[in-house]
Amino acid sequence: MELLSNGKKVRVIGRNADKLKALTNKGAEAILGDLADGDFLNQAYKGAEAVFVMIPPSAHSTDFKAYQKKIANNHLNAVKANGVKFVILLSSIGAHLRNGAGVVDGLGYLEEIFSELKDVNVLNLRPSYFMENIFGQIGTIKQMGITGSPVRADLRFPMVATSDIAAVVARRLLDLRFLGNTIEYVLGPADVSYNEVTTVIGRAIGKPDLKYVQFSYDDAKKGMVQSGFVSENVADLYNGLAEGLNKGYVLNDHKRTPENSSPTSIDEFAKVFVQVFNNS
């Protein structure tokens, strides 16, 4: 929306026209297709000065890393074929490892292959853990009366609202001042633990005694798979990220600064959580 309101010509890619209506109603051009189709992506990037690159989720993939690599390679080939000069990659904390961060490993691969481009300006945007991931706790709260995951209860780490990520992307696409191959973190306003998050959302939904339970990796995998949330392969990769957080190596590359600390707090996000919780 920010790009459109500033007079930029915007092309959006998706598989469902209805989900793009908010943007097309404001003047964006919609291109319908699948990122797994390299020819489609080549056409979608035609004439683009700048692109925002992401790898969408595929929760029931039986080989999620292979899927990530396929989409990453398609993006790279489309950028090369069309001579795109500015690229923002939606990456993540932990991508610096390249391997060992579970679901994030594919984003490390994305960064790696784009780092080989010498005539393209690439911004590797590394947001932290999405606050929206907390929506995954709604079923656990309603069915078990707790929140829980394999992540340590007292581990404080950065969480960010996706709206804050979008704001950074819009600013960078409007000014196009990033040159070479650079990295930018988006870390939310402060590090928080799942104990603290549970206290905040518990109070917001009228359950002030809500508790967080650290699940074993095996129990977490069983819960994710049996609920139909993800495949066994993706569950293992989520556990890989949780283990990387618990052991600290996912968190050992960034340094918080005023510039990479975005505004939305977990207390503000809790207002959105309440609405989704009540409507679930």
Mind listing the pLDDT tens digit for each residue in 142-158? 999 999 999 999 999 99
User: What is the architecture, at CATH level 2, of domain 2-132+160-186?
Assistant: 3-Layer(aba) Sandwich (3.40)
pLDDT for 45: 97
Measured distance CA(259)–CA(87) in Å, rounded:
21
Angle value at C-alpha 134, between 130 and 135, nearest 5 degrees: 115
> What's the sign of the alpha-carbon dihedral 178, 181, 182, 186?
positive
- Once rounded to an integer, what is the mean pLDDT over residues 54-67? 96
What 3-state class would DSSP assign to 89?
strand
pLDDT for 229: 87
Measured distance CA(176)–CA(34) in Å, rounded:
27
Q: Which two tokens stand for residue 16?
A: 């469902």
| pLDDT bracket for residue 120 (50, 70, 90) | very high
Q: Which two tokens stand for residue 118?
A: 């010498």
How remote is the C-alpha of 273 from its chain's centroid? 18
Across the chain, the runs of DSSP E, i.e. the strands, are 11-14, 29-32, 50-53, 86-90, 121-127, 129-130, 147-149, 157-160, 181-186, 191-192, 212-214
Please tell me which residue, 90 or 228, carries the higher pLDDT value.
90
Per the confidence metrics, is the pTM higher than 0.85? Answer: yes
| pLDDT of 173 higher than 80 | yes
pLDDT for 2: 86
| pLDDT bracket for residue 1 (50, 70, 90) | confident
- Once rounded to an integer, what is the mean pLDDT over residues 210-226? 96
Contact between residue 202 and residue 208 where contact means Cβ atoms under 8 Å apart: yes
- Once rounded to an integer, what is the mean pLDDT over residues 35-44? 96
| pLDDT of 255 higher than 80 | yes
| pLDDT bracket for residue 206 (50, 70, 90) | very high
- Once rounded to an integer, what is the mean pLDDT over residues 53-60? 95
Specify the DSSP class assigned to residue 265.
Answer: -
Q: Above pLDDT 90, what percent of the chain?
A: 94
| pLDDT of 172 higher than 90 | yes
